[in-house]
Amino acid sequence: MKNEEKAVSNSLYSLVSLDEFKAIMCIDDREDKLCRFCLVTSTLSIEQYCKRKFLHKKYFETVKLSDSSLVILKEYPVREILAVSIFNGQIIEPEFYRPMIGNDYNEEMPFELLLSPSLKPFNLTAIKVIYWAGYVVNPHPCGFTTRSFCEAKTPAKAIKTAASMPQIPADLSAACLELASWNFNRYKGRRVGMSGNIRGAGKDGEHFEMSMPENVRQLLEPYRRKML
């Protein structure tokens, strides 16, 4: 798992890989810095707009408990629950909680844990949950985001691991690509903050542009966190 953490920390924080973006945009290596900047800022803008994180990483979350035994984790899709504990550091063993995943479950539903009724006498007010969640960008068949950790795995383990990792949906990837290319063209055209000339009343004028194109907003709508 440490190797996986290292792979995630060293990768580009983007919903689209650098190589894929350059290939689609027909950009050479001289523009790598600008490409990286546009991909990362576009991904962060998308996460801010959707009010949630998307990229695969380890999360440390404190969840306040109510009268219900149901615990809803903030980030999703969840790949693996690493540990559940109380604030004195005592680990809650897996037999005292279970994931609520039915036949109709999909990755874009918040992940729920059901705590065992046997925990009620302890009057817990909150628990700490450590888990892996989020999508990965073009994972190598071994299941990691880079090739460097593949050789130690057997083929059977590699297939099983890769299958368990949720990959970025096509429309979410397309939204990042659209936004990154839009920003790239603005920077190259030196039109940052302005969308161009408008002809009206016989004069040329400038106007401030929107922060995100409408087609990108439409692609992101299914992924926005629903605020209750």
Verify that 112 and 153 share a domain, yes or no: no
If one counts the domains in the chain, the total is 2
Burial class (CB in 10 A: 0-12, 13-18, 19+), 33: exposed
Verify that 10 and 71 share a domain, yes or no: no
| Residues 146, 33: Cα–Cα separation, whole Å | 20
Verify that 12 and 35 share a domain, yes or no: yes
Verify that 147 and 45 share a domain, yes or no: yes
Alpha-carbon dihedral angle through residues 45, 51, 54, 56, given to the nearest 10 degrees = 110
Per-residue pLDDT of the chain (228 residues; tens, 9 = 90+): 555 554 444 478 999 999 999 999 999 999 999 999 999 999 999 999 999 999 989 999 999 988 778 888 999 888 889 999 987 789 999 999 988 775 556 677 778 889 999 988 888 889 999 999 999 886 655 544 444 444 444 444 444 455 557 789 999 999 999 999 999 988 887 555 545 444 444 344 444 456 789 999 999 999 998 765
- Is 36 a member of any domain? yes
Verify that 20 and 88 share a domain, yes or no: no
Can you give the pLDDT at residue 67? 77
Verify that 70 and 110 share a domain, yes or no: yes
Can you give the pLDDT at residue 52? 93
**Which phi and psi angles does 51 have, rounded to 5°?**
60, 40
The residues near 179 (Cβ < 8 Å, ≥ 6 apart) are: 42, 45, 46, 212, 213, 216
Whole domain around residue 73: which residue ranges? 57-133
| Residues 136, 74: Cα–Cα separation, whole Å | 18
Verify that 76 and 122 share a domain, yes or no: yes
pTM exceeds 0.85 for this model: no
- Is 228 a member of any domain? no
